[in-house]
């Protein structure tokens, strides 16, 4: 009799778990094609940015791609980096609600209101974190890479001053694909 109950319980539990999974997946908004492209860019940045040795707390520590603010990628960013490694570091994705939560993060996609960009830049000073966003004035606030659309294609703009301040080395291959941001200095 106990075996019959176990089988009956399994038969009832499996459809319930499947239904829960379907509801959970449906609740996750899929990424737009634009953010699927941006997710691939974030993954590719791991190949074209050199972090200083002290950026990783241990030899086998993961390379962390973080998102602060609303997550526009849906499950796509995690799917993009699943099982990937760079220089022996497994790539993982973390989501942060507040800047104070960020400990070790190598690439941070900043999806915050414009009013919070200065505070975000200030809290990351002295860290080896590549900051990326698609906010129009992101680079003026100390951001490093900005996505923008031109001729219906995703383009990059890089603030080299900010990357140098973070001790990050940007590959010349990546620089060839991007516009270099130059802040306008007032005399």
* Domain regions of the chain by residue span: 1-30, 33-180
Place of tokens 């200030």: 122
Mean pLDDT of 129-150: 96
What is the CATH number that goes with domain 33-180? 3.40.50.2300
CB distance 128 to 108 below 8 Å: no
25 pLDDT above the threshold of 80 = no
Q: Who contacts 179 (Cβ-Cβ below 8 Å, separation ≥6)?
A: 155, 156, 157, 158
Beta pairing class for 89-96 and 63-69: parallel
β partners of residue 89? 86
Q: Residue 86: which residues within 8 A CB-CB, separation 6 or more?
A: 46, 47, 63
Planar angle of CA 120, 124, 130, nearest 5 degrees: 100
Give the mean pLDDT of 85-102. Answer: 95
Average pLDDT, rounded, for the chain:
85
pLDDT 10s digits, 43-83: 999 999 999 988 999 988 999 999 999 999 999 999 999 99
Q: Which residue has the higher pLDDT, 160 or 18?
A: 160
Entry pTM: 0.81
């Amino acid at each position: 009799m106990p075996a019959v109950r176990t089988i009956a319980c399994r038969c009832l539990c499996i459809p319930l778990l499947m239904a829960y999974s379907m509801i959970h997946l449906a609740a996750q908004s899929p990424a737009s094609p634009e953010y699927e492209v941006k997710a691939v860019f974030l993954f590719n940045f791991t190949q074209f940015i050199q972090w200083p040795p002290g950026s990783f707390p241990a030899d086998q520590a993961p390379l962390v791609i973080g998102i602060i603010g609303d997550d526009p990628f849906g499950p796509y960013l995690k799917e993009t980096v699943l099982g990937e490694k760079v220089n022996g570091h497994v790539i993982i994705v973390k989501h942060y609600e507040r800047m104070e939560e960020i400990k070790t993060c190598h690439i941070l996609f900043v999806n915050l209101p414009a009013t919070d960009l200065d505070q975000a830049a200030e809290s990351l000073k002295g860290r080896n974190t590549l900051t990326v966003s698609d906010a129009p004035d992101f680079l003026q606030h100390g951001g490093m890479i900005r996505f923008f659309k031109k001729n219906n294609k995703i383009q990059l703009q890089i603030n080299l001053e900010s990357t140098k301040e973070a001790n990050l080395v940007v590959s010349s291959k990546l620089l060839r694909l991007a516009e270099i941001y130059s802040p306008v200095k007032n005399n």
